[in-house]
Structure 1
Amino acid sequence: MTTADPSTPHRPYERYVALGDSQTEGLGDGDDTVGLRGWADRFAEQLAAHSPELTYANLAVRGRLAGQVRAEQLGPALALRPDLATVMAGVNDVLRPKFDVDEVAGHLEAMFAALTAQGARVATVTFPDPARLTPLARPLSPRVAALNDRVRRAALRHGVAVAEADRHPVVSDPRLWSPDRLHAAPIGHQRIAAAFAHALDLPGSDDSWTHPLPAAEPAGSAGRGRAVGAELRWAATFLGPWLRRRLTGRSSGDGHTAKRPLLLPVRTDQA
């Protein structure tokens, strides 16, 4: 894991900007009726507890590919002159039939380079093996492993902190994930926020986000039968509609814009 230099005293951040796709937007933590919270909001609240003057913008939009994040969000992010930025993108690319790890990694590295060159502290994340969440996703495992390797190498070149989410078994606990298995549940978003805080060595952060949840009841033979049924229901409910959008050229982000395009003060009274 890449972290801040421990010999350098932590400086309060004043302007935090989050770039990314649906995970950073907050899908799985709230909804479009009551509002989305998500790991970036939770992380901003943690930052604001130590930096009361912090302002925060979230430019993420669901469904965006890494190249779209770069094209649509990097310019506005640079214009906000953040002293801290997070970049999380690439999963939507992994899910596409034609995946080019060099292209995706190039977009991510370009964002790392531009943000750090302007003086921002930047943090990113590695992604868990999707086969640990659903066996149907096993063909995607080599793609995710290749992307994680490229993320680590690019981060090292640009001094970017990395939350190593893929290296800990807890990230595959289904209780951390929403029913679609693509977006974190509220407790999963909480863990992601803690992972970023730990990667940046923020005051009060530690590795507790890597600890397992309390043991669940064993599934048993009847439970295994329910698990097979759950796989089939997941494929019908989530995989089928996702494939139809890909075939018709539509995206879950069509018609959506950034939920928080401006730097605004952060509330710290969330539960």
Structure 2
Amino acid sequence: MEMNATYTSLVAVGDSFTEGMSDRLPDGTYRGWADLLATRLAARTHDFRYANLAVRGKLIGQIVEEQVDVAAAMKADVVTLVGGLNDTLRPKCDMGRVRGLLSEAVEKLAPSCGQLVLMRSPGRNGPVMERFRPRMEELFGYVDELAARHGALVVDLYGAPALGDQRMWDVDRLHLTGEGHRRVAEAVWQALGMDPEDDWRAPLPPALPPGWVTRRIGDARFAREHLGPWIGRRLTGRSSGDGRPAKRPDLLPYQLPPES
């Protein structure tokens, strides 16, 4: 990868991870690693353009159907694709179908852009992670195969222990905090050949584990606010992204936020 390359456009494709949950801004909207990356790239390039097609809750089939052709037509310098993890977290998952759809997405996106970026997604340490680890690792192994076949970059977030630290995850236990998203942005930034600004793999400082009462309170809140609604959506065939538009559906000039 060329160091300090110039990129004039970025298109992000995926689900809630790329939409930016749970990096919440004061106005209630989500920022996330893709917005942070766009801000840093835009600061280096005049008339930088950015689109984020990601929508929370999307399965890989929906990403292929709703986002991939749109992204390919934009002919961006950089396209990021992260998908399939929602499929692996379902009680029933046809991994052969997931691999086929992911392959279809990469085959369309890779030749349409200057650089395709894939990821091995991070996972929160805990019992849920252990239950679904075999599927996730099967998915990530195929991501590596596709990248080698099509000249894509792979950002290995899964291989960074710091991103598995429970303190990097929101109370819903599914989405990264703002610090987690900041580290992902730094990881992609470096993968694109930019000079490092910090060590995104650095472990968090040691901390005392929470006591039994604190853990039980957290478990109860998680079950009430997140697990229950998630189960309800699964039982009724609904998704958190149903009817929700992409946050930046068009590849347009990106205005730097005031704090940048």
- Write out aligned runs for 1:83-94 (5 A): 83-94=77-88
Aligned to 1:226: 214
Q: Call closer, same or farther: CA 1:42–1:141 in 2, change over 3 Å.
A: same
> Which of these residues, 227, 241, 244, is aligned with residue 256 of structure 1?
244
1:250 is paired with a residue whose SS is coil
Matched residues in 2 for 1:10 and 1:110: separation? 30
Aligned to 2:205: 214
Aligned to 1:237: 225
CA deviation after TM superposition for structure 1 residue 83, in Å: 1.5
Aligned to 1:43: 37
What are the superposed Cα offsets for residues 72-106 of structure 1, whole Å, 9 maximum, x if unpaired? 00111122111110001112111112212222222
> Which of these residues, 160, 175, 183, is aligned with residue 175 of structure 2?
183
Q: How many residues align?
A: 259
Matched residues in 1 for 2:133 and 2:61: separation? 21
When the two structures are superposed, what TM-score results if normalisation uses the length of structure 1?
A: 0.88
Matched residues in 2 for 1:179 and 1:122: separation? 31
Q: Within the alignment, does 1:105 sit opposite 2:96 as a pair? A: no
Q: Within the alignment, does 1:265 sit opposite 2:257 as a pair? A: no
Q: Call closer, same or farther: CA 1:211–1:32 in 2, change over 3 Å.
A: closer
2:199 is paired with a residue whose SS is helix
Q: Which runs of 4+ in 1 moved over 4 A?
A: none
Q: Call closer, same or farther: CA 1:32–1:54 in 2, change over 3 Å.
A: same
What are the superposed Cα offsets for residues 98-142 of structure 1, whole Å, 9 maximum, x if unpaired? 212222222222222212212430111112344x1x324432111
Aligned to 2:90: 96
- Write out aligned runs for 1:14-93 (5 A): 14-30=8-24, 33-93=27-87
CA deviation after TM superposition for structure 1 residue 174, in Å: 2.1
The RMSD of aligned alpha carbons is: 2.0
* % identity of equivalent residues: 41
CA deviation after TM superposition for structure 1 residue 245, in Å: 0.4
CA deviation after TM superposition for structure 1 residue 33, in Å: 4.8
Aligned to 1:163: 155
Aligned to 1:120: 114
Matched residues in 2 for 1:170 and 1:146: separation? 21
When the two structures are superposed, what TM-score results if normalisation uses the length of structure 2?
A: 0.91
Matched residues in 1 for 2:198 and 2:134: separation? 27
Matched residues in 1 for 2:259 and 2:65: separation? 32
Matched residues in 1 for 2:128 and 2:66: separation? 32
User: Residue type of the partner of 1:88?
Assistant: V
CA deviation after TM superposition for structure 1 residue 68, in Å: 0.6
Determine if contact 1:39/1:193 at 8 Å carries over to the other structure. yes
> Which of these residues, 190, 196, 199, is aligned with residue 191 of structure 2?
199
Q: Call closer, same or farther: CA 1:111–1:136 in 2, change over 3 Å.
A: closer
1:96 is paired with a residue whose SS is coil
